[in-house]
Amino acid sequence: DPHESPTDTALREIYEESGRVVSVVKLLGVLVETSPIDYNWTSFVFLAEVPYFEPPFCDEGKLVWLTIKELENISTPPTTLPIFNALVQRQYFIFEAIYDGELQLQSL
């Protein structure tokens, strides 16, 4: 939203998609994706500790809990597993993903 900080955005998105109010999030990293066509994106990745709850309906996709092992077996964009690995290790990261004109990842 206009004039919203990345932290405020994370808190709002958690609430909108899960129905949970979280008061503390930790910035864990940044992913910047660029290409020579009209695709340029910056994502701020936050970590929040929450107790288990039954995932509610989400109109942006199916919200589910996954184990770390299950993450390795689902279809995700090539930038996802490095982010998940950093999250698990609690390591701060800055990833720069460079795509070609067909949106094929060239480097990360």
Q: How confident is the model at residue 42 (pLDDT cuts 50, 70, 90)?
A: very high
pLDDT digits (tens, 9 = 90+) for 58-106: 777 777 787 777 877 888 888 888 888 888 888 899 999 998 888 888 8
Nearest to 14 by CA among 2, 23, 5: 23
More confident of the two residues 23 and 55: 23
Which residues make Cβ contacts (< 8 Å) with residue 80, sequence separation at least 6?
A: 71
72-95 burial code (b ≥16 CB/10 A, e <16): eeeeeeebeeebbebbeeeeeeeb
Counting Cα atoms < 13 Å in the Cβ hemisphere of 108 gives 12
Q: What is the pLDDT of residue 49?
A: 83
φ, ψ for residue 7 (rounded to 5)? -65, -45
pLDDT for 85 equals: 85
pLDDT digits (tens, 9 = 90+) for 2-38: 899 999 999 998 888 888 899 899 999 999 988 888 7
* Residue 37 DSSP SS3: coil
